Structure 1
Amino acid sequence: MHLPLSISVIFFSFLLYPILVFPATWHHFSKLANLKKGTRVTGIGNLKHYFHRFGYLPPSPANFSDDFDTELESAILSYQRNLGLPVTGKLDRDTIDVIMSPRCGHDDNTHRFVSETRRFAYFAGRPRWVEAKKPMKAMTLTYAFDKNHLINYITEKEIKSVFKRAFKRWSIVIPVNFTEVENYYTAEIKIGFFKGDHGDGEPFDGVLGVLGHAFSPENGRLHLDGDETWAVDFDTEKSKVAVDLESVVTHEIGHVLGLAHSKVKDAIMYPSLRARSRKVDLRIDDVEGVQALYGSNPSFDYGSLLESEKSSSCGAGGCRGVFGLSIWWLWIVTSLFIHLL
């Protein structure tokens, strides 16, 4: 099949766009799609490392062979349950799509789900900030930035504005206030952008892999990957691999407060976030989870949240793609188009 060059370029660019925003870190897992137990394919061992990193395989597995064995199937089943995916035990399209998505660095299995009807979760032991142990008592947490570990293409003023808005979202729903201070070492919440191995046992992995991580109460460290292309405005930042800073910051503050990952796809505490997507509004699942730890802010209007959630039409990770198709499906179409050219 031959198309006029101008049409080919336009059509190819249109379909290629979703591929360009795929994370390089885990994009190679695309070749494992539709595999099931009993198969042996090069690359399955790397997938086992992925599941080990995020809490689905034992700390000291005997090996990371390229066999799709019972242990891997069990890990996939648990992953699918935890992330609200169809529970098939296979590397179906939806599962691979989420595996390849950029995400938070926290593992998903160091927590327990509250009940079958509530899908928010906590860290083991359900830790929270000490002052909050008195129900309905307002408290203040201080935060500060590591001035030696910021990024230079977004102004400090813009970064601070992003954090102020993100902290405000949480303080609206719980009786906790957040105040910026200058002294990084005495602040309760310590914020910085770091690259690779930065000394906390949780190294970052480059562009569009792990985006950030934060530790449970009362540790207070909140770290973002300095190798990402962070954005505060997608109209200004045109990079195809840009990540919305406010979305990730809002998620990581949830960890600082004691929330673990949610299985609700449109919740702030869902672990993955696609490049060039924005998700900053707390959902009912986030609010119920954090209020169970700290109580409700007396001025919080729960009815407005319910109304907002009713009017929302997109799920976690943003809308699924052009014409409602998943990015994985567009990748297949593009591959076929390239072959035909």
Structure 2
Amino acid sequence: MRAMGFQEISLSFFTFTLFLLITLFPSISSSQPKPVDSHGLVFLKNLIGCKKGDKVEGIHQMKKYLHHFGYLNDVHIHSKSNEDEFDEILESAIKTYQINYNLKATGTLDNTTLAQILKSRCGVADIINGKTRMKSGTKVVNQHRKISGPFHEVSHFAFFEGSLKWPDSKSHLTYGFLPKTPSKAVDPVSRAFRTWAANTHFSFSQESDYESADIKISFERGDHGDGSPFDSVGGVLAHAFAPTDGRLHFDAVEHWAIGAVPNSYDVETVALHEIGHLLGLYHSSVEGAIMWPSIMGGTTKGLHADDIEGIKALYTSTS
């Protein structure tokens, strides 16, 4: 399989990226390299081994990262008096992050934790309004609107607050692509829909009229008007909205590919994850599941039993 070439990555840029990763994390230098984006992950080199009580340049950027994915609230992130201080609140946030990603909850920024942070991922936050976690028995909320209702507590998979889902009368969904979407992205995204159709009660068909489709797919750059701007290469790859919003956005600046292409991201794999959100699934704490938040470059991934159990549980519930 070959890269689609939506954007070309120069050899010099890749060489610099690989050097930076080896410098930051020599113990994981054999893992799949990921381009370091300008959103701020270069600051990680200052933070290896940081713990409560330390005051190090770059801690405020770590706080911004954790705030972006829901681990710190607005009050803590906007405080200027201790922005580079590793305090108890930051320690607690890091422990929660480590629990979500099945790491040892030390509260310290060890190599393993920083290596996880460095991975590219879905843009949907892990914690929203301080109420969610990816582990069992946790409460999950819609990222865009507050809806009251009973929570479903499940072993690994999770739902949005109110168990948001498409109505029973809407088992057939149409999807459309924004005009000028890269043509080579259409087939892998369509395959992802067929995979979900084979494991759910849903059927899907492509709609030529983008505006009238139930699900609207587009490749966007930077601030694209939905309140969740993309960063640059690496970092957040894509995001999608809970039912019945129907929007799925890919970050257009990424190096997208069809299949397992080194230093690129498989469109179909990312689409499988984001369609899970479109249907009502939240993030899973099972690393093998498609709903695991991190997505590795140079690999492909399919649905896991946890994903299938989750979607069936959501659509057989009576709430």
Matched residue, 1:229: 255
2-side partners of 1:19 and 1:33: how far apart?
20
State the one-letter code of the partner of 1:71: I
User: Residue type matched to 2:178 in 1?
Assistant: D
> Is the 1:103–1:271 contact (alpha carbons within 8 Å) kept by the matching residues of 2?
yes
Write out aligned runs for 1:173-322 (5 A): 173-234=199-260, 241-279=263-301, 281-295=302-316
Task: Say which of 79, 93, 113 aligns to 1:63.
Answer: 79
1:208–1:241 Cα contact (<8 Å) kept: no
Among residues 64, 76, 88, which one is paired with 2:106 in the alignment? Answer: 88
Q: Deviations over 1:134-187 (max 9, x none)?
A: xxxx81011000014x23xxxx1x322111211122112210111111111111
Q: After TM superposition, give the deviation of residue 119 of structure 1 in Å.
A: 1.2
Q: Secondary structure at the match of 1:130?
A: coil
Of 94, 97, 109, 2:127 maps to 109
Q: Which amino acid aligns with 1:274?
A: M
Deviation at 1:27, TM superposition (A): 3.9
Q: Deviations over 1:284-317 (max 9, x none)?
A: 2111111111249xxxxxxxxxxxxxxxxxxxxx
The DSSP-based 3-state class of the residue aligned with 2:168 is helix
Query: For 1:233-260, what per-residue CA distance to the aligned partner results, in whole angstroms no more than 9, with x for missing partners?
Result: 44xx6xx531111111110001101111
Please tell me the residue identity of whatever aligns with 1:58.
N
The one-letter code matched in structure 1 to 2:176 is: A
Shift of 1:50: 0.3
RMSD: 2.4
1:95-145 Cα deviation digits (max 9, x unpaired): 11110111111101134655387111111222001126xxxxx81011000
Residue 146, structure 1, aligned to residue 172, structure 2: no
Partner letter of residue 79 of structure 1? Y
Task: Report the TM-score, using the length of structure 2 for normalisation.
Answer: 0.78
Q: C-alpha separation between the residues in 2 aligned to 1:195 and 1:248?
A: 17
Deviation at 1:83, TM superposition (A): 1.9
In 2: Cα distance, 1:202 partner to 1:227 partner = 15
2:189 is aligned to 163
Q: Which amino acid aligns with 1:175?
A: H
CA 1:187/1:114 → structure 2, altered by over 3 Å: closer, same or farther? farther
Aligned with residue 77 of structure 1, among 87, 91, 95: 95
Please give the secondary structure, in 2, of the residue aligned with 1:123: coil
CA distance in 2, matches of 1:274, 1:22: 12
Give the aligned residue type for 1:120: F
In the alignment, what sits opposite 1:126?
163
Q: Name the SS for the 1:190 alignment partner.
A: strand
Q: State the shift of 1:82 in Å.
A: 1.6
CA 1:210/1:189 → structure 2, altered by over 3 Å: closer, same or farther?
same
CA contact (8 A) 2:259 2:299 kept: no
Choose between structure 1 and 2: higher helix proportion.
1
Residue in 1 that maps onto 2:148: none
From the superposition, tell whether residues 274 and 27 of structure 1 become closer, same or farther in structure 2 (CA, over 3 Å). farther
Separation in 2 of the partners of 1:56 and 1:92?
18
Kept in 1, the 8 Å contact 2:174–2:205? The answer is yes
- Give, as a single letter, the amino acid of the residue that structure 2 aligns with 1:34: G
How far 1:31 sits from its partner (Å)? 3.0
Query: In the TM superposition, what is the alpha-carbon distance from 1:23 to its structure 2 partner?
Result: 2.8
Q: Hey, what does 1:332 align to over in structure 2?
A: none
Is contact 1:208–1:275 with CA below 8 Å preserved after alignment? no
2:4 corresponding residue in structure 1: none
Q: Which runs of 5+ in 1 are unaligned?
A: 1-11, 133-137, 297-341
User: Could you say which residue in structure 2 is the equivalent of 1:51?
Assistant: 66
Q: Contact 2:165–2:280 (CA<8 Å) still a contact in 1?
A: yes
Structure 1 residues 19 and 254 mapped into 2: Cα distance closer, same or farther (>3 Å)? closer
**1:277 CA displacement:** 2.2
2:37 aligned with 1:24: yes
1:184 to 1:19, Cα distance in 2 relative to 1, 3 A:
closer
For residues 30 and 126 of structure 1, do their structure 2 counterparts lie closer, same or farther at Cα, with a shift above 3 Å needed? farther
What is aligned with 1:302? none
Match of 1:312 in 2: none
Aligned partner of 1:34 in structure 2 is 49
Q: Distance in 2 between matches of 1:128 and 1:259?
A: 9
Q: Matched residues, percent identical?
A: 42
Aligned length: 269
For residues 114 and 81 of structure 1, what CA distance do their matches in structure 2 show?
11
